Amino acid sequence: MATQKFHEKHGGKTIIIARFMPAVRTFAPVIAGVGRMGYRRFAAFNAIGGVGWVLSMTFLGYFASEVLGPKQIEYLVYGVVVISILPLVIGAIRHRLGEKKNSGNPGVEQAPL
């Protein structure tokens, strides 16, 4: 099963990074379950991701208020949203470019997502 192989290789990274990406955060646990990721492993990586999220946002908020001041925090929020979505956009662009590149090669088959 492709999902199981993916989670054996990249499951931990996926669960941690999913904490920082709103759209992925919703589906990562479901995919981990489908991929039969062990509960202990999932819980450990989920906890690491949660601690990373809380610490990074707390420190970011503290330093932003010190450096930017309270009136400029809005720009920081926009930046966090853009950075959170950026990996999805980059992945979609890479996937699209890969499709165009392989469309000229009829013998090359794309791997399913």
Query: DSSP character for 111?
Result: P
Q: Is residue 28 within 8 Å of residue 14, measured between CB atoms?
A: yes
pLDDT band at 6 (very low <50, low <70, confident <90, very high): confident
82 located within any domain: yes
pLDDT given at position 104? 60
Domain of 14 in residue numbering reads as 2-103
Q: How far is CA 108 from CA 1, 2, 7, 105, in A?
A: 21, 19, 25, 6
Domain count of the fold of the chain: 1
φ/ψ region of 75 (left if φ > 0, alpha if ψ in -120 to 50, else beta) reads: alpha
At 38 the pLDDT is 87
Residue 110 counted as domain residue: no
Q: Give the global pTM.
A: 0.59
| 109 within domain boundaries | no
Q: What burial letters (b/e) apply to 11-20, b meaning 16+ CB within 10 Å?
A: bbebbbbbbb
66 in any annotated domain: yes
Residue 105: pLDDT band with limits 50, 70, 90 = low
Q: 10 in a domain, yes or no? A: yes
Is 108 part of a structural domain of the chain?
Answer: no
Structure tokens at 36: 């039969």
Q: What is the pLDDT of residues 46-94, one digit of tens each?
A: 999 999 999 998 988 888 788 877 777 788 788 888 888 888 888 889 8
Q: Tell me, yes or no, whether 113 lies in a domain.
A: no
Indicate if the pLDDT at residue 109 is higher than 70: no
Residue 110: per-residue pLDDT: 54
| Cα 74 to Cα 12: distance, rounded to the nearest angstrom | 32
Within-domain flag for 111: no
Residue 74 and residue 61 in contact, taking contact as beta carbons nearer than 8 Å: no
